[in-house]
Structure 1
Amino acid sequence: MSLAEVCALASRLQTQVRHTEALNAKLTHEMAVLKRLKFAATSERFSAEQKSLLEEAIDEDLEALAREVEQLQTTAKKPVDKHTPKRQALPSDLPRRDVHHEPENTTCRTPGCGCQLKRIGEDISEKLDYLPGSFAVERHVRGKWACVKCQTLIQAPVPAAVIDKGIATAGLMAHVVVSKYIDHQPLFRLESIMGRSGVSVPRSTQAEWVGAIGVQLAPLVQAMRDDLLSRQVLHADETPVAMLKPGLGKTHRAYLWSYCTTVWDDINAVVFDFAESRAGHNARRFLGIGEDGVGGWRGTLICDDYAGYKQAMNAGVTEAGCLAHARRKFHELWANHSSTLAEQALKLFGVLYDIEREVKDLDGRTRLRIRQLESRPAADLLHAWLMANRQKLPDGSATARAIDYSLKRWAALTRFIDNGDLAADNNRIENLIRPIALGRKNWLFAGSLRAGQRAAAIMSLLHTARLNGLEPYAYLKDVLERLPTQPASAMRDLLPYRRQPMI
């Protein structure tokens, strides 16, 4: 073997060694990241209770469909007979609170009569109410008044309710909805909890309440979405949620898309959108952008580097990157491997975040001026550091990929410097969807697309209430009491960000 052949072989072997070392470093880093992200074992395995969760979703769907059909005034077929639980008498040992409904005028209204009416009896209907920590029965006493002379009978009308002739008050319905979507309690657990208080409310009945409430709250959620899309800057993110695959008895990965206003906006709102996939057309659909890219929202969207948002960007939406996503990749290298390069990068990112902490409470113009004076030089220094160190690293290494992420998205990552209304990262929306991860452990899956969309709508209203300092139970109870008689022209008065904080 000649000297030239030996040198060529040595060069090839050296290249293979470098490639193997880079591959080993990449796999070692990925394994370390997965170990850190690995969750503890869940306490709820696949069991018969999952069937209960599916039945809840189906019952909610049926009730929601029935309400929509009724609202659209379509001709419905005779309902199919189904096994419905028989309503049981409310326990006699529960405290009673009488709510009296009497006519405003007890004078006979028959033309030419004018006699004073006499009370001849009353109708009593009982509704189960819930006060935090206790149950009570609310007795609605509607006095009957009759004219002795002409036999005219009058009586106060039955108060309007979200569910006509239902057993639940607005307080109990609010408790069920908040327990399910804020406290992450499935309905079969609520059935058991109520049973310990001596009250029998089957989960199927609760599911019907949730379905009806979801339909009634839909106009409020739509109004909130309209307000959201009237803003120039939005945060966006998505998280997976399992959904039952129809006919197969299996689940597949659906997604809960989330959109919210910035912390500096004049309204505090978050709207969730449930979709069967992570495809980009779901974001475009929510933003009202047509398939041809015409129409819809035209603002700045703060999001991560997921390709699904690119369809909206191609239609004219401005992209703003998330500085926290770029920083996080270096933090993983530092936490898992004590990388000195990653430590240097974290210090440079820290300078930008120190400036953001200083300007977070200032007005937009002042924030923009300080960013131009201080953040721009800090960003330029970070960019120069990234460029210089990238040339020293082999392709495919974890550090190189972390640097490449920032360099390829540099324009989007630093767009906040030239706009005082933009946030530097997407942490706001990530924090808002964090409770969904806890909910997933209890819901296990969404029973249908309709069930997922209903959950998204209700959670939009409740989480927006929390954002605005409202106690979710008190807010929803008040909305359910006022909703049946609220004029359509005043519907927006019920939105959370138009109410005074309750906590």
Structure 2
Amino acid sequence: MLVAVTTAPDLLPSDPNELRALLLAERARHAAELSAARSRAEEEIARLRQIIRELQRHRFGRRAERLDPDQLALALEDLEQTLAAKEAEPAGSAASKPAPSPARRTVNRGNLPADLPREEILIDVADKTCRCCGGALHPIGEDVSQRLDLVPARFRVLVTRRPKYACRRCEEGVVQAAAPARIVDAGIPTEALIAHVLVSKYADHLPLYRQAQIYARQGVDLDRSTLADWVGRAAWYLRPLHERLLANLKASGKLFADETTAPVLDPGRGSTKTSQLWAYARDDRPWGGPEPPAVAYVYAPDRKAERPVAHLRGFTGVLQVDGYAGYRKLSEAGAVRLAFCWSHVRRGFYDLQTGGSAPIASEALLRIAKLYAVEAEIRGRDAEARRRERQARTAPLVAELKTWLEKQLAAVSRKSTLAEAIRYALSRWEGLTLFLDDGRVEIDSNSVERCIRPLALTRNYAQPMIMCRSPAELIAGYAGTGVCCA
């Protein structure tokens, strides 16, 4: 029998056996406390190490969960250039003893669309007289080859003349055609030039200072502030189109939503502050819907939940989003149902699996992969056919996955990164399983994330994105002076 431990000398037992039992009990208590503390420390160390691995992967590793084909192409670019240079060498530059030529490699050199304009060049012989008998040569065929050519973009000046007319008899009044409206009053750019600047900046990720350098090589000196003024004025003219597009999207029954950061220069502070660009997209192509794909971006100075609520006021239907808690406020009134993204669920287990040996995370990835295998087969079918297939094939897999996740959550430490990944999925289970009952809903929100990617490229290559007297001036369409975008 164990006795209570005390530190008072006068309360210690005098019997040696009781003292021995007391000492053993004290040692057992200390050993249990030390084991529990060591276990907690090991769990905390494992959690912190996983966080470090995720940060290192985010900072130094590839961002995507699969190899980007564009990155692979960049890696092979130097090799293909070297091979092409070798092929272009003249025969005389090789060694005196020619090496056996290797088998010709198969290369995709592109195709020439039939609708491209063709310009024919005839290369004919100068003398069509036979060298032997002096008779006239007659055509027996020809060799035809096609090469892809490019006419570089070049500036031109449009000169507009408006004659004035007057009457010689009455000499009253002058008649002249009205001048056409311009985006920039008394400015030199045409609408086509302003459109080119906008597309180059926002679609091709060319900041205005680089465009100014390109134009200067063609002899046209345009200051960056001048280009920025054109962009700001064009934004004002595009504002009604943006409002109409957003209203059209809100009339749909299903949308995607996502947001990304936008660094904004804050005049007076000499630094930038982080704002948000929200993307609302529609993509009904996976189930053959009648509406065309579209996306609208809305600027906001912060990431508060009130922003999507204000942006989507009047929208009713399914909104597919990531796990950001700010979207939950949209579903409180019941008009909006939230569908969550399995790709974000998968990402938590993928980070664990890439960080080292993680059998539970690997098993979760295999189970989620089965859900995606079904989606790959039914992509392109109508909504009802997709719903039936999901009910028959995907619903049992999802039910088994939930039971398995709950079992694993009970077996792992609640403070571990693995437990966080499991709780992320289980806490959003209703939204994650909404796609089973609605064939219009996708398994993930990758459609809108693909729309976000161009913004991230612009942010990475042309920071900051916006610099103006008010950060909302450009995005909201304010055509004031002093707007300057990098």
CA change 1:241–1:359 in 2 (3 A) is same
The separation in 2 between residues aligned to 1:313 and 1:18, in whole angstroms, is 41
Q: How does 1:130-209 map to 2 (within 5 A)?
A: 133-150=153-170, 153-209=174-230
Find the residue that maps to 1:273 and give its secondary structure.
Answer: strand
Q: How many aligned positions are there? A: 361
The separation in 2 between residues aligned to 1:441 and 1:342, in whole angstroms, is 32
The separation in 2 between residues aligned to 1:248 and 1:227, in whole angstroms, is 39
Q: Does 1:271 align with 2:320?
A: no
Deviation for aligned residue 1:380: 0.9
Preserved CA contact (<8 Å) 1:274 1:453: no
Q: Does 1:314 align with 2:335?
A: no
| Match in the other structure for 2:398 | 379
Q: Deviations over 1:212-232 (max 9, x none)?
A: 111111000000010011112
Q: Deviations over 1:125-152 (max 9, x none)?
A: xxxxxx9621111122334455555557
| Higher strand residue share | 1
Preserved CA contact (<8 Å) 1:255 1:275: yes
Unaligned runs of 5+ in 1: 41-130, 289-295, 459-503
Q: Does 1:442 align with 2:442?
A: no
1:431 paired residue among 444, 447, 450: 450
User: Letter of the aligned partner of 1:437 in structure 2?
Assistant: A
Q: How does 1:100-139 map to 2 (within 5 A)?
A: 133-139=153-159
| Match in the other structure for 1:285 | 310
Deviation for aligned residue 1:237: 1.0
Deviation for aligned residue 1:163: 2.8
User: Letter of the aligned partner of 1:172 in structure 2?
Assistant: L
The separation in 1 between residues aligned to 2:437 and 2:409, in whole angstroms, is 26
Find the residue that maps to 1:297 and give its secondary structure.
Answer: coil
The separation in 1 between residues aligned to 2:446 and 2:476, in whole angstroms, is 20
Q: Does 1:234 align with 2:255?
A: yes
The separation in 1 between residues aligned to 2:204 and 2:437, in whole angstroms, is 40
Deviation for aligned residue 1:261: 1.0
The separation in 2 between residues aligned to 1:11 and 1:334, in whole angstroms, is 32
Q: Deviations over 1:20-39 (max 9, x none)?
A: 11111111111111111105
Find the residue that maps to 1:243 and give its secondary structure.
Answer: strand
CA change 1:132–1:268 in 2 (3 A) is farther
| Match in the other structure for 1:35 | 56
The separation in 1 between residues aligned to 2:391 and 2:437, in whole angstroms, is 7
Find the residue that maps to 2:216 and give its secondary structure.
Answer: helix
Q: Does 1:396 align with 2:421?
A: no
Deviation for aligned residue 1:319: 1.3
Deviation for aligned residue 1:11: 1.7
The separation in 1 between residues aligned to 2:267 and 2:176, in whole angstroms, is 50
CA change 1:361–1:454 in 2 (3 A) is same
Find the residue that maps to 2:355 and give its secondary structure.
Answer: helix
CA change 1:281–1:371 in 2 (3 A) is same
The separation in 2 between residues aligned to 1:436 and 1:197, in whole angstroms, is 29
| Match in the other structure for 2:77 | none
TM-score by length of 2: 0.70
| Match in the other structure for 1:299 | 317
> If you compute each CA radius of gyration, which structure gives the higher value, 1 or 2?
2
User: Letter of the aligned partner of 2:325 in structure 1?
Assistant: A
Q: Does 1:11 align with 2:36?
A: no
| Match in the other structure for 1:113 | none
2:269 paired residue among 226, 248, 267: 248
Find the residue that maps to 1:140 and give its secondary structure.
Answer: coil
Runs (4+) of structure 1 exceeding 6 A deviation are none
Q: Deviations over 1:223-272 (max 9, x none)?
A: 00100111121111111112233432222221111111133451211111
| CA RMSD, 1 decimal | 2.2
User: Letter of the aligned partner of 1:164 in structure 2?
Assistant: D
The separation in 2 between residues aligned to 1:246 and 1:143, in whole angstroms, is 47
The separation in 1 between residues aligned to 2:441 and 2:472, in whole angstroms, is 31
TM-score by length of 1: 0.68
Deviation for aligned residue 1:302: 1.0
CA change 1:178–1:421 in 2 (3 A) is same
| Match in the other structure for 1:59 | none
The separation in 2 between residues aligned to 1:315 and 1:240, in whole angstroms, is 28
Deviation for aligned residue 1:279: 0.9
1:354 paired residue among 373, 379, 388: 373
Unaligned runs of 5+ in 2: 1-21, 62-150, 479-486
Preserved CA contact (<8 Å) 1:262 1:423: no
